Each structure stands twice: as structure tokens, then as C-alpha cells.
Amino acid sequence: GAGVSQSPSNKVTEKGKDVELRCDPISGHTALYWYRQSLGQGLEFLIYFQGNSAPDKSGLPSDRFSAERTGGSVSTLTIQRTQQEDSAVYLCASSPWGGGAYEQYFGPGTRLTVT
Amino acid sequence: AQRVTQPEKLLSVFKGAPVELKCNYSYSGSPELFWYVQYSRQRLQLLLRHISRESIKGFTADLNKGETSFHLKKPFAQEEDSAMYYCALSHRSGAGSYQLTFGKGTKLSVIP
């Protein structure tokens, strides 16, 4: 079946602009995660959605970052007033459930470049 | 706080040689550990998890709670093993959800 998809694959934006990144999880997966992958920094957890529960936003680096998940499926990560340090690959992952031992299935990522 | 350490950024081995990618963790609870792999121009994918005690593509990893380690091993490296490898620890966040904390990754290069 189809895996996790993300769009756009690449985004170049000017400092100060807002950007929206989209994630389509695997159908039926209730858990959805956003991560940021910066050069040499590994993957950094940003936010987690589980079904219709309130999201875990504990990893968001600032209030410029927000995310929503509509209808328990598609998710959008929004970065307002982008800064150069926001340049990174943003990865989305989904999982059948939010339990600790479940595999997370990753999308191909969106490479964001802030100029 | 939980932490995952992969001490080697880059590891180069010859084809046919043994491989060991190191991973150490710190976590006060009962750990659930994973190895994820990212091949060139492919997405990140699960390689193995400690709870399954499985061997995937000839790789194994044993959880050593005494040494807080979860090293990834393969007796004979193949060229197709060249990739970026991430060790990850699943844990509950303060908000109650399960999160993965990743190490910074080790790039494995297998020399023909």
C-alpha cells in the first residue's frame, strides 16, 4: 500500500515568510509524528498526534511553530516568520498506534531552505 | 532526561569485515530501543527493535542494561550496508505520549 507522503519535497522561502508543510499518513494509522532533521543533529521530535486527542506539542522549538491534524488524517506543520535556523529536513511519520514498541513509518521529508 | 549517544559520526570498514555500530542510552525507565537506517536517496526505515530479538539483513543488536548499550553488529559487512544508521529510544514524554529520541547517527561506509 501507499506509504507516508509529504509535500512539497523541497521548499525555498525568504526569511520572515510563513510556510506550510503537509503530511499524509498511512491510512488507518492513528499516531502521527513530526520531526526535524538538521545537519549533524540527528532527528528532533516536534509534535505528536494520537487520534482525536490533544496533541503533544512538547518538542516545538518556539511559538512560531504550530501543527494541526484534520479528521484524524492529514497534518499540516506551519512555521511563521521563518528564520535561517529553521532550515532543515522536516520528517513526518505515522504508526498504527502510539505505543512505545510500534514501528514508525517515515515519509520522504520536506527540505526547507530559508534564505 | 533520556539521551541516546552514537559516538562515531563515520565508520569505514572493508567488505567482509565485522561491523559494530555503537549506541549508548540513558533512561530511568525500562528502555525500548530501535535501530533505524536510511539508505542513499531513500526514506528512514526500521531495521530492528530489541523487543523482537530478530536478525535483519544479518544485523543483530543486544540490549545490555548493565552497560546501557544497544550496539548494532554484523559479522560480515556488505557494500549494500553503506547507509546512515540511527539508534532510537522510545519513552514517555511529560505529556504522556510515546516519543522516539534519536542519536545523531553513524554513517557506515563499506569499502569494496
Question: For B58-65, what is the mean pLDDT?
Answer: 92
What's the rounded Cα separation, in Å, for the pair B60 and B73?
A: 5
Is A25 part of the contact surface with chain B (CB cutoff 8 Å)?
A: no
What's the rounded Cα separation, in Å, for the pair A80 and A60?
A: 13
DSSP state, residue A25 = P
Q: Nine-digit cell at A95? A: 504508526
Other CB atoms within 10 A of residue A32 CB: 28
Min CA distance, B68 vs chain A (Å)? Answer: 18
- Residue A84 above 80 pLDDT? yes
Q: Which residues of A touch B56 (CB under 8 A)?
A: none
Q: pLDDT value at position B107? A: 96
Q: Which residues of A touch B94 (CB under 8 A)?
A: 58
**SS3 call for B88:** strand
pLDDT digits (tens, 9 = 90+) for B21-34: 999 999 988 889 99
pLDDT-derived band of residue B53, with 50, 70 and 90 as boundaries?
Answer: confident
**Between residues 47 and 76 of chain B, which touch chain A (CB distance below 8 Å)?**
49, 51
CA distances from B112 to B14, B21, B59, B84, B107 (A): 6, 19, 19, 17, 16
Q: Which residues of A touch B9 (CB under 8 A)?
A: 40
Whether the CB-CB separation of B103 and B44 falls below 8 Å is answered with no
The answer for residues whose C-beta is within 8 angstroms of residue A65's C-beta and 6 or more apart is A46, A47, A77, A78, A79, A80
Using DSSP bridges, classify how beta strands A105-106 and A88-95 pair: parallel, antiparallel or unpaired.
antiparallel
CA distances from A103 to A13, A20, A49 (A): 33, 26, 15
Q: pLDDT value at position B92? A: 79
